[in-house]
Amino acid sequence: MRFSNDIFVYGAGGARRDIFVYGAGGARRDIFVYGAGGAGREFANAFEHSITWQVRGFIDDTKQQGEIINGIPVMGGRGYLLFEKCAVAMCIVENPQVKRELIREIKIHCPDVSFPVVLNEESSISRHIEWGEGCIVSLPYNFISVNLQVGDFVWINVANIIGHDVRIGEYSTLYSGINVGGHVRIGSECVIGSGAIIKPGVVIGDRVIVGAGAVVVKDVDAGAVVMGNPAREKGESHG
């Protein structure tokens, strides 16, 4: 999938100026949101006026089929996907291990389900980024810089600043208001809490949890839970 983030400067002088219409690609593509919890409902809300995606329904194993949530129907639990050829946005975010297992099951039993990269159109996202399968930038006001490598099923929420050359491992979640410095490496299955600051170049191991508001100034070992300023280890993530 390609996204055009070209910038055209108003007032470049000269005669007539070219104009380009963003999103001329025709009809919106249908997408189903897996998980009608807070993350899923916010995602659906944010994409209500998307030019690319049309949210058709929630998939949720804990809700009643036919229930209407914020104007969007619950289609059923994961069984619904058995017979569908459709695109799904995975909005199960709090526990990366649970998300990984769920996706593994869906891939085995529902071969016609696809997991596209879905990028919020009100975020500023470089087009020079390698996205893995099923990555989601859910909400507005993210600034995501150049030359990132992002693993499969990474979920980025709202108002994060992510610097150049950052790597994010698969199934990791970044919540909100996080500032990730250039060249930072975040491992797989990490959860980065709201408002965290990660100093440029820091390496964070797999399955790390970074607490809300933490200021991470040095490398973090796999499986650690870190919090505070400067961030210190206070336990293990049990991942």
Ligand X SMILES: CC(C)(COP(=O)(O)OP(=O)(O)OC[C@H]1O[C@@H](n2cnc3c(N)ncnc32)[C@H](O)[C@@H]1OP(=O)(O)O)[C@@H](O)C(=O)NCCC(=O)NCCS
Instruction: Return residues touching ligand X (CB under 6 A).
Output: 175-176, 193-194, 209, 211-213, 225, 227-228, 234
Can you give the chain as a three-state secondary structure string? Answer: CCCCCCCCCCCCCCCCCCCCCCCCCCCCEEEEEECCCHHHHHHHHHCCCCCCEEEEEEECCCCCCCCEECCEEEEECHHHHHHCCEEEEECCCCCHHHHHHHHHHHHHHCCCEECCCEECCCCEECCCEEECCCCEECCCCCEECCCEEECCCCEEEECCEECCCCEECCCCEEEECCEECCCCEECCCCEECCCCEECCCCEECCCCEECCCCEECCCECCCEEEECCCCEEEEECCC
Closer CB to ligand X, 86 or 189, in the complex = 189
109 given a catalytic annotation:
no
C-alpha count within 13 angstroms, C-beta hemisphere, residue 70: 17
CB of 54 to ligand X, least distance (A): 25
CB of 232 to ligand X, least distance (A): 9
CB of 213 to ligand X, least distance (A): 5
CB of 193 to ligand X, least distance (A): 3
Closer CB to ligand X, 109 or 234, in the complex = 234
CB of 179 to ligand X, least distance (A): 14
Closer CB to ligand X, 111 or 228, in the complex = 228
Closer CB to ligand X, 57 or 193, in the complex = 193
Q: Which of 49, 109, 183, 238 is catalytic?
A: 183
User: Residue 63 — φ and ψ, nearest 5°?
Assistant: -110, 165
Q: Rounded to an integer, what distance in angstroms lies between the CA atom of residue 25 and that of residue 134?
A: 21
Closer CB to ligand X, 50 or 194, in the complex = 194
> Residues 184, 172: contact at Cβ < 8 Å?
no
Catalytic residues: 183
